[in-house]
Amino acid sequence: MANTTSAKKATRKIARRTIVNKSRRTQMRSSVRTVEEAINRGDRAAAVKAMASAEPELMKAAQRNIIHKNAASRKVSRLAHQIAKLAK
């Protein structure tokens, strides 16, 4: 339990930030899920379109420290590779 005034304030800030980050994480995961679903269906056009919105979501999440920068880059790379395989 927080005892000092600054610790109590920090607890409040963390609680507010947690709500915001949870929302951002959900939005990011949803955009990635749409790309993965399009890939699983084999629909390259839909996958490319979904990827155009998912990539900025991932990079924004990385900038805001919701996920690690390398994890975001790795996810973008793997999705792009899977989309490229659909063209073959």
- Per-residue pLDDT of 20-61, as tens digits, reads 999 999 999 999 999 999 999 999 999 999 999 999 999 999
Domain residues for 16?
5-86
**CATH value at residue 78:** 1.20.58.110
CB 24 within 8 A of CB 68: no
- Per-residue pLDDT of 52-72, as tens digits, reads 999 999 999 999 999 999 999
If one counts the domains in the chain, the total is: 1
Orientation angle between helical segments 69-86 and 44-63, nearest 10 degrees: 170
pTM of the full structure: 0.83
20-48: burial string, b at 16+ Cβ within 10 Å, e else = eeeebeeebeebbebbeebbeeeeeeebe
**Could you give the C-alpha distances from 5 to 12, 19, 36, 37, in angstroms and in order?**
11, 22, 46, 48
